[in-house]
Amino acid sequence: MLFRKFTSVALAALCATFTAADDLPAIEIVGNKFFFSNNGSQFYMKGVAYQQDTANVTGGSTIQDPLADFESCSRDIPYLQAIDTNVIRVYAVNVSLDHSQCMQALNDAGIYVIADLSAPADSIDRSDPSWTVDLFARYKSAVDVFANYTNVLGFFAGNEVTNDNTNTDASAFVKAAIRDTKKYISDQGYRSIPVGYSSNDDSKTRVSIADYFVCGDDDVRADFYGINMYEWCGQSTFEKSGYADRTKDFANITVPVFFSEYGCNEVSPRQFTEVQALYGPNMTDVWSGGIVYLYFQETNNYGLISIDSNSDVSTLKDYSYYSQEIHSISPSSVQSSTYTPSSTSLSCPATGVNWKAVTSLPPTPNQDLCSCMDAAAACVVDDSVDEDDYEKLFSYICGVIDCSGITANGTTGEYGAYSFCSSKEQINFVLNYYYEYNGSKSSNCDFSGSATLRSATTQSGCSSALSAVGTAGANIFSGDVTFSSSGSASGSSTSSSSSGKSSSSGKSSSGKSSSGKSSSGKSSSKSSSSSSASSTSSKSAAPSSSKINFAHVILSSIATIAVAAGFGLVMA
């Protein structure tokens, strides 16, 4: 009865006057800490991972983009507010959908977003890593969609891509993605949105991989670093759990570091006693909070809430325990104006048994260069050949000639000039190189009907770049190159500087994750989202003011009042 009275008061007040909240201040980075840009106060993540693994059947989509479903996000935001959430993490977004309503509602609720740029079908494959034109286009599209929302805290360029000491070379490709995404954000004139990486907690690589992503000049290093941390299980302590050791491990990291996932479920229900340690005096000098995994209850049993067949929410015991713990924290804080970082640089890790990725990074993907090369090829694959059969051609040709122009190796730091091009462009390059290598005889462009001759064209905007790259594609071009589909040069794009060639042969292909989460895959104990293909109109700009959803405002206020009054929040 008392709760109903509170609710009636809230409704009456809201009906009288309500306005959309101002845009949230952007979160900025100084040293290893986050700060509010408007007043310089320190920002700690009190986050929740927010994405369902359920397939979205609309339009053949295989991802349920939580930021494009206003009915669901407006339903969930009060529950997020009630547990003092200030950040949500989403693992994959559909760049063709409209996210403005959810982003505005989150803004009005005081909630920031940190989003992975990749998607399961568009991510760096740890077993065959590459940084390609298509992947870069995906990253740029995601940036374009979200760049103008001030409540976007940052982007993850990868999630657990390197997950043990057998695939550390993949990190070179993710770091190239960080470099290129940061430059794209700058070139487009967007605000300085941080770009970082989320790692697993592998004992053999955890320190080296953190050092690797954080080392180097500002233009190549990660702006922040997350670690998916599941060491504290059940009742534990700062020392017993391993948190004390991890805090020592990461004490020298010069950018903000946080738990990009946490919440071990070996003991259920989870009581989240680690929250007091994470936001306590032993850890806050090093860590900037964390993101609880996971909002939705799924087969992996990590949920804080469950959704029934009517799309109604029920809070679980984990939710109640987490709410109690997160509402009782009081982390120490500093002002950006009085904070001086103890260190701003970090040495890169040496290569060895457990770390093999070198600091030389793959070149920036450049579609114009690929198009120039492709147009200049006289011997090309026949249109009747299926892409699945390219591998047979690659295998034969690269056993005869040097195919380093299309390969990439994060262990040696040797990258071909065309390592980022599409499979068809790459097969055309090696077919033509084989043809020219053998005297340009027509008999050397047949391959049992798999190849054919055509008229080749070298555009004026391409000639200097193709000359610099060389016939074998071994030299990385660092200047401007232009290609026009009409045949005359127009527009331009620039390749990054690098050098070297790979001694290995074979095709470099874009990777796909076998897991729901983008970029790498999750362990079988935790699930995640998959990629989306459904389409509708896309909006990239967050309006400075917009019509707010009245029902959302009411629900949010009810949630806040209920918590303040000490009542459990129950909604149908």
Tens digits of per-residue pLDDT, 444-465?
999 999 999 999 999 999 999 9
pLDDT, tens only, 496-512: 444 333 333 333 333 33
Per-residue pLDDT, averaged over 11-15, amounts to: 38
User: Quick one: pLDDT band at residue 53, thresholds 50, 70, 90?
Assistant: confident
Cα dihedral sign for 237, 88, 514, 257?
Answer: negative
Report the C-alpha gap between 31 and 254 in whole angstroms.
6
- pLDDT tops 50 at residue 529: no
pLDDT band, residue 342 (cuts 50/70/90): confident
Check whether 410 has a pLDDT greater than 80.
yes
Q: Please give the average per-residue pLDDT across 147-155, as a whole number.
A: 98
According to the model, what pLDDT value does residue 545 have?
Answer: 36
> Residue 222's CB: how many other CB atoms inside 10 A?
30
Q: Return the minimum-mean-pLDDT range out of 29-38, 144-153, 225-234, 556-565.
A: 556-565
Question: What is the Cα–Cα distance from 68 to 101, expressed in whole angstroms?
Answer: 8
Task: Determine whether 71 is an active site residue.
Answer: no
The pLDDT value recorded for residue 26 is 98
* Residue 259 · residue 289 · CB < 8 Å: yes
Q: In the Cβ-directed half-sphere of 196, how many Cα atoms lie within 13 Å?
A: 26
Examine the residue annotation and report whether 160 is marked as an active-site residue of this protein: yes
- Active-site annotation holder among 28, 231, 239, 261: 261
Q: Domain coordinates of the chain in residue numbers?
A: 27-338, 367-469
Q: Average of pLDDT values for 6-15? A: 38
The encoded tokens of residue 247 equal: 């805090």
State yes or no: pLDDT of 397 exceeds 90: yes
Q: What is the mean pLDDT of residues 520-530?
A: 40
Percent above pLDDT 90 for the chain: 77
One-letter identity of residue 498: S
Cα–Cα distances in Å, from 203 out to 101, 160, 165, 199, 537?
A: 42, 14, 9, 12, 44
Alpha-carbon distances, residue 443 vs 109, 425, 447 (angstroms): 68, 21, 8
* Domain 367-469, CATH number (from 3.10.20.30, 3.20.20.70, 1.20.58.1040, 3.40.50.2300): 1.20.58.1040
Which one of 28, 71, 160, 231 is the catalytic residue? 160
What mean pLDDT value characterizes the chain? 86
Residue 515 CA to residue 389 CA, distance in Å, equals 25
CATH of domain 27-338: 3.20.20.80
pLDDT band at 343 (very low <50, low <70, confident <90, very high): confident
